[in-house]
Structure formats: C-alpha cells, structure tokens
Homo-oligomer: A and B are copies of this chain.
Amino acid sequence: MNFCNQCGSAVSHRVPTGDNRPRYICDDCDHIHYQNPRIIAGCLPFHGSQVLLCKRAIEPRKGWWTLPAGFLENGETTAQGALRETREEANANAEIIEIYTMFSLPHISQVYMFFRAQLLDLNFSAGEESLEVALFEEHEVPWDALAFPVITQTLKHYFEDRKNNEFPIRSADILYKKPD
C-alpha cells in the first residue's frame, strides 16, 4: 500500500497513537487503513454416501480436486457465501446442514470454514472455475490429488465422523513452518 484510498496522498507504515502494531496511515488526512484476515467459505456437498468434488480450472492447484469454496463477500452470511460458491463452481443446488470444519492459516491471513450441505438434486456440472465435477464414494476419493490440506482434513474428518453419524465442529490451525 502506497497511497491513501480516501484522499490519494502518500501513506506511512507506523504505529497509530493508542495502538500497538504498525498500520498504513495517511500522512495528509490521517486515515488509518486496517488490513484483516479474509474468510474462505465452502461446502462439503454430499448425496447419500457420496461427496461432491471439483477439479480446479484455475491456479493455484489447477487440475487438482477441491471442495467448492471461495472468498466471502461483503453483505453475505457465511452460509450464503458457501452456497454461492457451490453454485458458481459446481452449478449445484444444496442445503446447509451445519458448519463442520474451521481452519486458521495465519501465514496467509485466511480463515477457512466448510459447511456440511445436502445436495438437493443431481443437476450439477462444471462451473467456470472447474474442469470437472463428480461424486465420489470414500474409496474413490483422489487423496493424492487433493488441492489443499484443508480439503484433505475436512474429508478425513467427515468419513471418520460419518461412522457415528455425529459431526462436532473440527477446528485446527494450519501453520506454515519455514524450511530449515
């Protein structure tokens, strides 16, 4: 960030009075530009014993399998965002059951949340950001071709929890360790 989005003047990176961490502050109008983590909301859509996955048509991880998810937009609830992404990426109609997994990824300032969601019909298809959309039984899941650790962890929890048909929230931090 170089310029104030309110008045167009240059910004400095310094600790505001009464604060305890540096922010971008306008040298002219004193506006403080806070930057905060973003939420990625998604669904774990299921139909009977099958789960729906999307093969990514975009980077990062183009060609790898994922659950439908994306950045929550202003004005949305987390569940609305998760369902919107499911429609956009998989043209799928689903109904939210409950939030299921939540992950903090502090190295990229992101918080992921996935909702269990029942497919309402089987009229799904690849959206613009997907190459392919398909249903998988547990033994068919392409475990070695999943796009992100949050996807792998959500699916592992799900198949494990499904044995007891109890789905408590599963939350975890995914911490990036710099290589030695």
- The stretch from A49-57, A103-111, A140-148, A155-163 touching chain B is A103-111
A117 close to B (CB within 8 Å)? no
Chain A 110-134: CB-based contact to B (< 8 A → 1; otherwise 0): 0100000000000000001000000
Contact of A169 among B5, B10, B109, B169 (CB under 8 A): B169
Q: Which of A51-68 contact B (CB under 8 A)?
A: none
A72 close to B (CB within 8 Å)? yes
Judge whether A75 and B109 touch: CB under 8 Å.
yes
Judge whether B36 and A78 touch: CB under 8 Å.
no
Count chain A residues whose beta carbon lies closer than 8 angstroms to a beta carbon of B: 43
- Closest chain B residue, CB of each to CB of A173: B77
A23 CB, min distance to chain B CBs, angstroms: 10
A1 CB, min distance to chain B CBs, angstroms: 5
Query: In the docked arrangement, what's the CA distance between A3 and B76, Å?
Result: 25
Could you name 8 residue pairs across A and B whose Cβ atoms are closer than 8 Å? Answer: A1-B5, A2-B7, A3-B6, A5-B5, A8-B8, A39-B39, A75-B106, A78-B104
If A75-B107, A75-B109, A77-B104 are given as contacts, then 13 extra A-B residue pairs at C-beta distance below 8 Å, sorted by A number, are A3-B5, A3-B8, A5-B11, A8-B8, A34-B71, A35-B74, A36-B38, A36-B39, A36-B71, A37-B39, A72-B111, A75-B106, A78-B111
Q: Residues of A with Cβ closer than 8 Å to B?
A: 1-8, 10-11, 18, 21, 24, 33-39, 71-80, 98-99, 102, 104, 106-107, 109, 111, 128, 168-169, 171, 173
